[in-house]
Amino acid sequence: MTGAKTLLPGATIGVMGGGQLGRMFAVAARRMGYFVHTFSPDKNGPAAQFSDQATTAAYDDEEAVRRFAGAIDVLTFEFENMPAATIEWASHQQLVRPKGAILLTAQNRLREKEFLAGAGFPVAPFRRIANSSELTQAIEAIGRPAILKGAAFGYDGKGQQRIDPETELAAVWEGREDELCVLEAVIDFEKEISVIAARDPSGATAVFPVSENIHRNHILDLTLAPARIEERVAAAARELACDVAEKLDLVGLLAVEMFLKSDGELIINELAPRPHNSGHWTIEGCVTSQFEQNVRAVCGLPLGSTGLLRPTAMVNLLGDVWQGGEPHWPAALEEPNVHLHLYGKHQPRPGRKMGHLTAVGETVEAAVESARRARERLALN
């Protein structure tokens, strides 16, 4: 179903997915007077804990999906990695924002790269890989080092393998379980940045300040805003994100992750048509958070201001923080400008995102120092 209708507070927003992004979306939506109904295979997950209703069922349960979609007023997503049939069943029953075609593009690296390259957006050189012979030919064309990635359902570095000059290609392909992969050239970048843009049903857009991202073991560790880049580069990044959102005909939120090369060139790495980990800082750092903005966009309300209130930094809290026992929350919160967000996950595991800390400061460097210091203090006895 399609349409440009506006949904006022009192309507029910359906959220497909039950993780922390759905949780923070639900907090924003309920504060604005909306009802939230989540759908997830996991019972009592992070999003369900803050929802008015929660359907627990498998994504391939057609009857449950259709019943859920029929009980809401609009459907949005907190992640895109679900079967295509799930999106199709829901779209036959209900208004879906963003539309299913965007989710199908973003959940597959090959489709995403082909869309971006076909539309003339800057991406790293890449090749489609379906067998060992194609891998050999692609390496000859692209060169080494390169990154081999599974085409479908990847995040936080999952399914990625670096191919260096000494890497044996035959062994690489034999060890893959993917039927289809993408080979990408390694980009020599100066910084990793991201831009989150919102677009409403009328085509109006609002873009958040550019953030700078630092990863550890392929997982986002630190985000700081505003990014420490020249304004001309930031303006180009914002424009690029808005252009991608327009080309997709997006209604909702779009995170565009980019590499910034030393010469100022921007290369798009990945897209996420939903709230994003690198936008969590906006809860404390902007006039309108990414989650409220997402509610506004999918409900057809005027978009809010994305103005920066103060320089802000966010550090992720992974399950590793719990290895020595329950973290020392009071010690971390002795930092007066630090805010704690926990996601309600029951089992801390190494590498699992359990929460985050956000700090504001007079400068972005001061905010980063506060956030890091607060996280270090969690280990105090």
Q: SS3 for the chain, per residue?
A: CCCCCCCCECEEEEEECCCHHHHHHHHHHHHCCCEEEEEECCCCCCCHHHCCEEEECCCCCHHHHHHHHHCCCEEEECCCCCCHHHHHHHHHHCCECCCHHHHHHHCEHHHHHHHHHHCCCCECCEEEECCHHHHHHHHHHHCCCEEEEECECCCCCCCEEEECCCCCHHHHHHCCCCCCEEEEECCCCCEEEEEEEEECCCCCEEECCCEEEEEECCEEEEEEECCCCCHHHHHHHHHHHHHHHHHHCCCEEEEEEEEECCCCCEEEEEEECCCCHHHCCHHHHECCCHHHHHHHHHHCCCCCCCCECCCEEEEEEEHHHHCCCCCCHHHHCCCCCEEEEECCCCCCCCCCEEEEEEEECCCHHHHHHHHHHHHHHCCCC
Indicate the pTM of the whole model. Answer: 0.95
Is residue 103 a part of any domain in this protein? no
Contact predicate 203/247, CB 8 Å: no
Mean pLDDT of 343-366: 97
Length of the chain, please?
Answer: 381
- Statement to judge: residues 162 and 266 lie in one domain: no
Where residue 365 sits, what CATH number does that domain have?
3.30.470.20
CA-nearest of 302, 204, 213, 291 to 253 is 291
Cβ neighbours of residue 229 under 8 Å, at least 6 residues apart? 191, 193, 210, 212, 237, 260
207-257 residue pLDDT tens: 999 999 999 998 999 999 999 999 999 999 999 999 999 999 999 999 999
Contact predicate 209/225, CB 8 Å: yes
pLDDT value of residue 228: 98
Extract long-range pairs of 227-231: CB within 8 Å, 24+ residues apart. 227/191, 227/193, 228/191, 228/364, 229/191, 229/193, 229/260, 230/264
- Statement to judge: residues 151 and 211 lie in one domain: no
Distance CA 35, CA 47 (A): 13
Mean pLDDT of 351-378: 98
- Statement to judge: residues 157 and 36 lie in one domain: no
Residue at which a domain ends, from 153, 185, 217: 185
**How many domains is the chain partitioned into structurally?**
3
pLDDT value of residue 155: 66
Residue at which a domain ends, from 151, 185, 219: 185
Is residue 234 a part of any domain in this protein? yes
- Statement to judge: residues 286 and 179 lie in one domain: no
Where residue 90 sits, what CATH number does that domain have?
3.40.50.20
Mean pLDDT of 316-342: 96
Q: In terms of C-beta density within 10 A (0-12 exposed, 13-18 middle, 19 or more buried), how is residue 166 classed?
A: exposed
pLDDT value of residue 170: 84
Task: Look up residue 128 and give its amino acid.
Answer: R
Is residue 114 a part of any domain in this protein? no
Banded pLDDT at 124 (limits 50, 70, 90): very high
Q: Which two tokens stand for residue 134?
A: 């194609």
Is residue 107 a part of any domain in this protein? no
Mean pLDDT of 30-55: 97
Mean pLDDT of 269-274: 97
Is residue 320 a part of any domain in this protein? yes
Distance CA 68, CA 71 (A): 5
Q: Which two tokens stand for residue 2?
A: 């399609």
- Statement to judge: residues 159 and 232 lie in one domain: no
pLDDT value of residue 3: 53
pLDDT value of residue 194: 98
pLDDT value of residue 2: 47
Mean pLDDT of 355-363: 98
Is residue 110 a part of any domain in this protein? no
Parallel, antiparallel, or unpaired: how do β-strands 252-260 and 266-272 relate? antiparallel
* CA geometry: angle 217, 220, 222, nearest 5 deg: 115
CA-nearest of 275, 240, 285 to 260 is 240
What is the crossing angle of helices 20-31 and 290-299, to 10°?
70
pLDDT value of residue 209: 98
Is residue 116 a part of any domain in this protein? no
Contact predicate 315/339, CB 8 Å: no
Is residue 2 a part of any domain in this protein? no
Residue at which a domain ends, from 185, 204, 223: 185
- Statement to judge: residues 196 and 315 lie in one domain: yes
Cβ neighbours of residue 274 under 8 Å, at least 6 residues apart? 21, 76, 77, 78, 79, 80, 252, 253, 255, 294
Q: In terms of C-beta density within 10 A (0-12 exposed, 13-18 middle, 19 or more buried), how is residue 96 classed?
A: buried
* % the chain with pLDDT above 70: 97
pLDDT value of residue 117: 98
- Statement to judge: residues 181 and 83 lie in one domain: no
- Residue 180 sits at φ, ψ, to 5 deg, of -140, 135
- Statement to judge: residues 285 and 271 lie in one domain: yes
- Statement to judge: residues 351 and 229 lie in one domain: yes
- Statement to judge: residues 368 and 264 lie in one domain: yes
- Statement to judge: residues 336 and 352 lie in one domain: yes
8-27 residue pLDDT tens: 999 999 999 999 999 999 99
Banded pLDDT at 380 (limits 50, 70, 90): confident
- Statement to judge: residues 213 and 357 lie in one domain: yes
Where residue 164 sits, what CATH number does that domain have?
3.30.1490.20
Q: Domain range holding 46?
A: 12-96
